[in-house]
């Protein structure tokens, strides 16, 4: 993607569909007059008075306990410098987004228009009652030090300057691991720190707390090496002033073991890197552009352990790994501050997590085959789902042990479960899917590319490297639309099945089709005519290996697209029934629903087959299927044949697939509510398990349910994912959104990858 395209993409992302990245969503019912009289006057007065009586009640009756302020004056925004409070707002909203998606913490971003320390401190103090914690962000040193110190002293809620301590915690964890891998000792290594600002000073203090020696440290600011004999040094800089008689970064880098960059882009060059000691460690953490570009550095030295603050290279040392989880732990025990013990605990939790076996989900999410503790994996990845259950408990425990917790956690297992449950509703699954597709992109025919939204989806698929789109449709329309959305037509293949150019292909495909159907009443003339029809042409492309996968259905009714696909492509070996599943991102996590599109009234045997096919699909997403077979009755409570059908399907599954975690027949609430199930049906195979797959007894129920969830929750749905076809063919919902089509393209690519793998195994 060109620099200009990236720029435009970033601007569109921030502007559409609504400006900005966060919004406020009510958490209580507000439908009736009764609700409103509770939410506001007169009902609201009751909790007000309770809080007036005892201020701790504010945590009981308001959102304070889960609300953090991300506050900046915009004086040191990323590595962009003093761009002011207004221009810092996208970053602060971004931090809000990260707090929410990684730790379910709500954020108000607050941009304060003052550089005056007193005024800033006063502002924060005055608004502090609203919040459970204060995250100071992108405030330049040395002001940041005094602001944080004073607020910590004067407020009884946790205050943390993220650029100082968040960064220090993550980089210390990464440093401990990198040193271990380089077989070096922290008290022996020579460390160069570029930058003497908020982040650099705090990081260096923490390295010292872990054993780094002052005499081995050289720190530089914009004027060069901070020497003890330099005039007018701030207290913070003075602590790290060196007695060595050197002035430049070049001199400092010679024979250094560790370089930590928290300054500005591109100040380290290759000769400097080459002058470092054996097995050097370089953390170039300036954002968005590091002190030395990742590829340049790793190609210059093979024995290097390298990290940056960016997500597009291995070893992202960025405070995003810290602040969500540190505040989560601190808020959950209502800590009065974030102290050294809590920071150390977070460092240790992060460092040790990097050494544990990496779950497959993380490999898939990052397009890696096998992430393993080593030079290219010294610190967990931000999308590692284990972070939420490892770091906050460590921080909370340390807060309790060091006496700053106002409430105590006793059941740690339950706490960890609660933390996992908090993270149910995000779009990890889509990410996982995209990354998996990108590992081995396949050719996808977009059979309706002469529709703007289909073309937009194809453009994203192409630019993101999810797949290689082949655009099918009226060439003149496609070309015109491509121009409109700035989609370079030279980058893709466009095919107009009706055009003279495709005459030969049409005839070839028609011959193949006719040969397979000439005893079923199809004449050669019929076959030739059918090949002018886009879905027939597209299906033949996949059949004949001219494309790997197919997406269609955006502009036509589902059955009219399914029919040619079944006729031309047919079912996979050993399969006598196709079905479709939809993956919903719900508030309790991902949920697969089958069959949402094909079988109107499946028999018990069919239901069992649908369950088995769905289980396979669930595994494609890196999850273990836990299946509820849905009915209007529970475990024999109705003798009606409709309930009996589901019961029989369960019996078939228990006999034929004893390894599957599946049970029923049961009602939806019992399938989804662990406590209800345990209480009433303790014998069920689903007890203690989180059901992630629902197999419905008929099409109305399944289709209605997925559409209901989609509309009511405004949640993402991936699907319908066709299951049981010989080739990767997927049929879109009429009028699917661009995002849904991109997701489906990724599904089609992953499906093609799997089918290719299976075919290779069968050979």
Ligand X SMILES: NC(=O)C1=CN([C@@H]2O[C@H](COP(=O)(O)OP(=O)(O)OC[C@H]3O[C@@H](n4cnc5c(N)ncnc54)[C@H](OP(=O)(O)O)[C@@H]3O)[C@@H](O)[C@H]2O)C=CC1
Q: How far apart are CA 705 and CA 694, in angstroms?
A: 10
574 sits in the region (left: phi over 0; alpha: psi -120 to 50; else beta) called left
Identify which of residues 95 and 727 has a Cβ nearer to Mg ion in the complex. 95
Q: Restricting to residues 68-127, which ones interact with ligand CC(=O)C(=O)O according to CB under 6 A?
A: 78
79 is in an annotated binding site: yes
**Partner from ligand X, ligand CC(=O)C(=O)O, Mg ion, none contacting 361, C-beta within 5 to 8 A by type:** none
Among 72, 88, 202, 287, which residue sits at the site for ligand CC(=O)C(=O)O (rule: CB under 6 A)? 287
Instruction: Answer whether the bond into residue 288 is a cis peptide, omega within 30°.
Output: yes
CB of residue 46 vs ligand X: minimum separation in angstroms? 44
HSE, side-chain direction, 13 A CA sphere, residue 248: 7
Is 403 marked as a binding-site residue?
no
Nearer to ligand X, 262 or 433 (CB): 262
CB of 100 to ligand X, least distance (A): 19
476 appears as a binding residue in the annotation: no
Positive or negative CA dihedral for 597, 599, 603, 604?
A: negative
Residue 450's contacts (CB-CB under 8 Å, 6 or more residues apart) are 473, 474, 477, 478, 481
Residues whose CB is less than 8 angstroms from the CB of residue 137 and which lie 6 or more positions away in sequence, other chains included: 70, 71, 72, 88, 91, 92, 95, 161, 162, 163
The residue range among 132-140, 247-255, 563-571, 637-645 that interacts with Mg ion, by the rule CB under 5 A, is 132-140
Is 689 in the active site? Answer: no
Token look-up 């994203």 returns 460
User: What are 534's two structure tokens?
Assistant: 């886009």
83 is in an annotated binding site: yes
Distance, in Å, from the CA atom of 269 to the CA atom of 737, rounded to the nearest integer, reads 47
With CB under 5 to 8 Å by kind, the binding choice for 200 among ligand X, ligand CC(=O)C(=O)O, Mg ion, none is: ligand X
C-alpha 156, offset from chain centre = 33
d(CA 688, CA 677): 9
**Of these partners, ligand CC(=O)C(=O)O, Mg ion, ligand X, none, which one is at the site of residue 141 (CB under 5 to 8 Å by kind)?**
ligand X
Q: Comparing C-alpha atoms, which of 566, 619, 638, 642 is closest to residue 597?
A: 566
Using alpha carbons, list the distances in angstroms from residue 320 to 51, 170, 394, 460, 763: 34, 9, 17, 26, 46
Annotated binding-site residue? 132: no
Please choose, from the candidates 747, 731, 749, 734, the residue with its C-alpha nearest in 3D space to the C-alpha of residue 578: 731
Nearer to ligand CC(=O)C(=O)O, 22 or 510 (CB): 22
Provide the binding-site residues for ligand X, judged by CB under 6 A: 76, 78-79, 140-141, 163, 167, 194-200, 220-223, 262-264, 267, 285-287, 309, 317-319
CB of 262 to ligand CC(=O)C(=O)O, least distance (A): 9
**Three-state DSSP class for residue 104:** coil
Are the beta carbons of 415 and 409 closer than 8 angstroms? Answer: yes
Has 628 been labeled as part of a binding site? no
Residue 221 binds what, of ligand CC(=O)C(=O)O, ligand X, Mg ion, none (CB under 5 to 8 Å, by partner type)?
ligand X
Which of these, 324, 348, 340, lies nearest to 401 by C-alpha position? 340
3-state secondary structure (DSSP) of residue 658: coil
Q: Tell whether residue 318 is a contact of ligand CC(=O)C(=O)O (CB under 6 A).
A: yes
Helical packing angle, 167-181 and 340-353, nearest 10°: 40
Query: Rounded CA gap, 412 and 199, in Å?
Result: 33
Shortest Cβ distance from residue 134 to Mg ion (Å)? 14
State how far the Cα of 471 lies from the Cα of 456, in Å rounded to an integer.
11
Nearer to ligand CC(=O)C(=O)O, 138 or 332 (CB): 138
Residue 364 is assigned to a ligand binding site:
no
Determine whether the annotation assigns residue 82 to a binding site. Answer: yes
223 binds, among Mg ion, ligand X, ligand CC(=O)C(=O)O, none (CB under 5 to 8 A by kind): ligand X
x/- letters, 136..165, toward Mg ion (CB under 5 A): --x------------------------x--
Structure tokens, 762: 């069968």
Q: Which is nearer to ligand X, 141 or 561 (CB)?
A: 141
**Of 21, 64, 89, 95, which one is the catalytic site residue?**
95
84 is in an annotated binding site: yes
Residues that bind ligand CC(=O)C(=O)O (CB under 6 A): 78, 138, 162-163, 287, 309, 318-319
The binding site comprises 77-84, 137-138, 163, 287
The binding site for NADP(+) comprises 77-84
Residues that bind Mg ion (CB under 5 A): 138, 163
As annotated, the active-site residues are: 95
């Amino acid at each position: 993607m060109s620099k200009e395209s990236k720029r435009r993409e970033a601007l569109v992302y921030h502007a559409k569909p609504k400006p900005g990245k966060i919004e406020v969503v009510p958490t209580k019912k507000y439908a009736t007059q009764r609700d409103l009289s509770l939410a506001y006057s007169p009902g609201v007065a009751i909790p007000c008075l309770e809080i007036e009586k005892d201020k701790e009640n504010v945590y009981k009756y308001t959102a304070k306990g889960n609300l953090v302020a991300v506050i900046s004056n915009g004086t040191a925004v990323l590595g962009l410098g003093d761009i002011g409070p207004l221009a810092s707002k996208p970053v602060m909203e971004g931090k809000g987004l990260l707090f929410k998606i990684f730790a379910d913490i709500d954020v108000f971003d607050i941009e304060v228009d003052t550089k005056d320390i007193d005024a800033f401190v006063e502002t924060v103090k005055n608004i502090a009652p609203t919040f459970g914690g204060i995250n100071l962000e992108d405030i330049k040193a040395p002001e940041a030090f005094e602001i944080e110190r004073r607020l910590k002293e004067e407020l009884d809620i946790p205050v943390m300057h993220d650029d100082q301590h968040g960064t220090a915690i993550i980089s210390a964890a990464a440093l401990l691991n990198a040193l271990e891998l380089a077989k070096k000792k922290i008290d022996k290594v020579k460390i160069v720190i570029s930058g003497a600002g908020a982040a650099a000073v705090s990081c260096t203090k923490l390295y010292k707390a872990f054993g780094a020696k002052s005499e081995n440290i050289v720190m530089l600011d914009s004027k060069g090496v901070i020497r003890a004999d330099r005039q007018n040094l701030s207290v913070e800089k003075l602590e790290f002033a060196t007695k060595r008689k050197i002035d430049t970064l070049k001199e400092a880098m010679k024979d250094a073991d560790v370089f930590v960059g928290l300054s500005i882009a591109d100040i380290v060059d290759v000769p400097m890197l080459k002058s470092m000691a054996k097995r050097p460690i370089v953390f170039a953490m300036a954002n968005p552009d590091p002190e030395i570009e990742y590829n340049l550095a790793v190609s210059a030295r093979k024995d290097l352990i390298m990290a940056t603050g960016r997500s597009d290279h291995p070893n992202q040392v960025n405070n995003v790994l810290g602040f969500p989880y540190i505040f989560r732990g601190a808020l959950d025990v209502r800590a009065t501050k974030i102290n050294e013990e809590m920071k150390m605990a977070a460092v240790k939790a992060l460092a040790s997590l990097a050494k544990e076996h990496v779950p497959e989900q993380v490999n898939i999410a990052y397009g890696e085959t096998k992430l393993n503790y080593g030079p290219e994996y010294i610190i967990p990845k931000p999308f590692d789902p284990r972070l939420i259950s490892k770091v906050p408990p460590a921080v909370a425990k340390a807060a309790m042990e060091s006496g700053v917790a106002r409430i105590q956690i006793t059941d740690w297992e339950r706490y960890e479960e609660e933390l996992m449950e908090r993270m149910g509703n995000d779009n990890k699954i889509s990410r996982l899917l995209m990354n998996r597709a990108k590992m081995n992109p396949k050719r996808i025919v977009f059979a309706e590319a002469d529709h703007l939204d289909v073309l937009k989806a194809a453009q994203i698929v192409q630019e993101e490297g999810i797949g290689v789109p082949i655009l099918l449709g009226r060439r003149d329309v496609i070309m015109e639309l491509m121009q409109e959305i700035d989609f370079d037509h030279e980058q893709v293949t466009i095919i107009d099945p009706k055009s003279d150019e495709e005459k030969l292909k049409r005839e070839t495909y028609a011959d193949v089709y006719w040969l397979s159907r000439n005893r079923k009443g199809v004449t050669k003339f019929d076959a030739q005519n059918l090949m002018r029809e886009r879905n027939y042409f597209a299906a033949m492309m996949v059949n004949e290996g001219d494309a790997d996968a197919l997406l269609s259905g955006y502009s036509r009714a589902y059955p009219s697209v399914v029919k040619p696909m079944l006729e031309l492509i047919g079912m996979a070996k050993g399969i006598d029934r196709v079905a479709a599943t939809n993956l919903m991102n719900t508030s309790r996590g991902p949920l697969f629903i089958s069959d949402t599109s094909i079988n109107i009234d499946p028999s018990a045997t069919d239901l069992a087959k649908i369950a088995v096919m769905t289980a396979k699909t669930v595994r494609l997403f890196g999850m273990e299927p836990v299946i509820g077979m849905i009915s209007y009755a529970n475990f024999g409570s109705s003798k009606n044949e409709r309930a009996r059908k589901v019961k029989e399907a369960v019996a078939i599954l228990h006999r034929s697939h004893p390894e599957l975690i599946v049970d029923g027949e049961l009602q939806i609430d019992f399938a989804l509510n662990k406590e209800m199930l345990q209480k009433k049906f303790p014998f069920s195979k689903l007890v203690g398990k989180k059901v992630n797959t629902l197999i419905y007894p008929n099409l109305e129920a399944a289709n209605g349910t997925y559409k209901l969830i989609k509309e009511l929750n405004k949640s993402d749905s991936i699907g319908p994912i066709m299951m049981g076809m010989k080739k990767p063919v997927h049929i879109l919902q009429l009028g699917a959104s661009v995002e849904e089509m991109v997701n489906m393209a990724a599904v089609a690519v992953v499906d093609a990858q799997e089918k290719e793998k299976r075919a290779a195994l069968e050979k």
